A and B are shown apart, each in its own frame.
Chain A
Amino acid sequence: MTAGASSKDILLAVSHVSLSFGGAKAINSFSFEVERRSICSLIGPNGAGKSSMLNILNGVYVPQEGLITYNGTTFERMEPLKVAAMGVARMFQNNALFGKMTVLENVMAGLSRKAKTTVIEHALGLPRARQESASFELKSDQAIDFLDLNPYRDLVVEALPYGIQKRVGLARALVSDPEMILMDEPMAGMNKEEKQEMSGFILDINKKLGITIILIEHDISVVMSLSDRVVVLDYGRKLADGRPEDVAKNPEVISAYLGTVH
């Protein structure tokens, strides 16, 4: 795709966002844009502010400065529940799964916000409540199936291998039919085969389901092969921003970051 500015369909625009924790600047006047149905990667060394940026988008952190425009609406701060309602899902770096619940229950929790039935309907076991639960279960089973999690469906997640837990986290994000998924190191700690498998899922989600993805990932080869756009962060500042092949050529990026990873 060539840079025909007028044809761009921007889903998310972050403009001059700054965040500090008790005086220490984690993010410094950072701006970037994410095109609809694209995969945009945030890369940079540890502590560059990548996860903090996702937390700002989710409304977990409140930035001191800057604006965020999502789907044409501009916000000074995001709120977690509203962000979720706008169709932004999240895959967490530490998975943040609900440890004592089964895979199915974890995935179904991703649908909770769509529930329209009341606690009393459920207590009395009324048909409407049962139907809603059944439809949630069906929908969750589709996500479980999509991510090849069938064998683990009824197992408690805290006992599952790390790679499987990552996929459960993705299923939980995917099940609510999000417009965008924020993925924080979905492949951390995985071996080569698992990474390939996860890359396949991410591509499917993007290409077949048309879901926009913001990806934080350390494995540069994965980033280069998946991304439509790469944004490089260093010490809370933007170092480079562009197509993967252009970013890879940027001398500043090579010296600051890429150079260290052969």
Chain B
Amino acid sequence: MGFMALFLETLIGGVLAGTMYSLVAIGFVLIFKASGVFNYAQGAMLLFSALLFVTLLKLGWPIPLALFATMVVTVIGALAIERIVLRPLANRSTMTLFLATLGLSFVIEGLAQGIMGTEVHALNLGVEDLPIFWGDILISQFDLYAAGVAITLTLLLALFFNKTRIGVSLRAVADDAGAAQSIGINLNFIWQVVWAVSALVGLVAGLAWGARQGVSFNLSLVVLKALPVLIIGGFTSIGGAIIAGVIVGAAEALAETYLGPIVGGGIQFWFAYFLALIFLFIRPTGLFGDAEIERV
């Protein structure tokens, strides 16, 4: 296999894998944009929904019913979190909110694994991961599907935000919560909507990741993969999350292929973070983030 073919194969594989990062990052962006909460528990929510779904399948539920039940439970769970944890903390510092979601992630992980067990489950979504060849270049069919799902989801969210009343209110809240409130937008309602939507996005991401690497505790760690993506894309831009996910995926794959053998492999554990740091030095607020000015 030639240099070019290997390079392209690595790049395409990375780009497709990157959309999986984007999928997780979108869930963060939604909540952060509307309420300033960096939801560390997004990973735990992902784990919970995927674990619930496989558990129901194991109990013999048909896929559509299990999916529906999982959706209902995760949405109710997200609404409860907003009501019980975040609302009493409204107007507190971003860091306090973050730490609360860190505590929340412990609660959700503990509940998920305490009730549904800690063993690793395989999740078969009926997508066979047969390789597709494009000339010399091998492409994972599963990754193609996952990328398709990520793109579809982004388009749906874009439609939701631009075409629906709720979406427009939500953007108003993101721009200026005070002003939005003064024209009669109910903040609490908007927060509930973003938590519910982001739980659903988490469910999609959970199933995609679960199908690829099995449903286990490791799912909740994808939150750590999403963080560099958010840094590069900015915390408030869905488009940024998609592009940054792709950048991280591609760069990681290239680095693992070309740099990995030189330094002993395993660099995917930290490479994304170093990439994010490099971006930070160039643009301290991310590719699409807004600069914050401290007023004096």
Touching in the complex, A and B, CB below 8 A? Answer: yes
- What CA separation (Å) do A60 and B296 show in the bound complex? 9
- What 0/1 readout, one digit per residue, does chain A (83-98) give for beta carbons within 8 Å of chain B? 0000000001110100
CB interface residues, B 279-296, toward A, < 8 Å: 295-296
**Given the complex, which residues of A lie within 8 Å of B296, measured CB to CB?**
55, 60, 92-94, 96
Give chain B nearest CB distance to A119 CB in angstroms.
25
- What 0/1 readout, one digit per residue, does chain B (190-224) give for beta carbons within 8 Å of chain A? 00000000000000000000000000000000000
**Given the complex, which residues of B lie within 8 Å of A94, measured CB to CB?**
295-296
Give chain A nearest CB distance to B34 CB in angstroms.
25
- B interface secondary structure, majority: loop
**Given the complex, which residues of B lie within 8 Å of A96, measured CB to CB?**
296
- A interface secondary structure, majority: loop
**Given the complex, which residues of A lie within 8 Å of B295, measured CB to CB?**
94
Give chain A nearest CB distance to B220 CB in angstroms.
34
**Given the complex, which residues of B lie within 8 Å of A55, measured CB to CB?**
296
Give chain B nearest CB distance to A61 CB in angstroms.
10
Q: What range describes how many residues of A lie at the interface?
A: under 10
Give chain B nearest CB distance to A142 CB in angstroms.
26
- What CA separation (Å) do A94 and B296 show in the bound complex? 6
- What CA separation (Å) do A96 and B294 show in the bound complex? 10
Give chain B nearest CB distance to A46 CB in angstroms.
14
Give chain B nearest CB distance to A207 CB in angstroms.
28
For A54, give the chain B residue with the smallest CB separation.
B296
- What CA separation (Å) do A31 and B162 show in the bound complex? 47
Give chain A nearest CB distance to B92 CB in angstroms.
14
For A51, give the chain B residue with the smallest CB separation.
B296
Give chain A nearest CB distance to B184 CB in angstroms.
27
Give chain B nearest CB distance to A78 CB in angstroms.
14
- What 0/1 readout, one digit per residue, does chain B (260-273) give for beta carbons within 8 Å of chain A? 00000000000000
- What CA separation (Å) do A96 and B296 show in the bound complex? 7
**Given the complex, which residues of B lie within 8 Å of A60, measured CB to CB?**
296
Residues of B within 8 A of A (CB): 295-296
Residues of A within 8 A of B (CB): 55, 60, 92-94, 96
- What would 7 A/B residue contacts be, using CB atoms closer than 8 Å? A55-B296, A60-B296, A92-B296, A93-B296, A94-B295, A94-B296, A96-B296
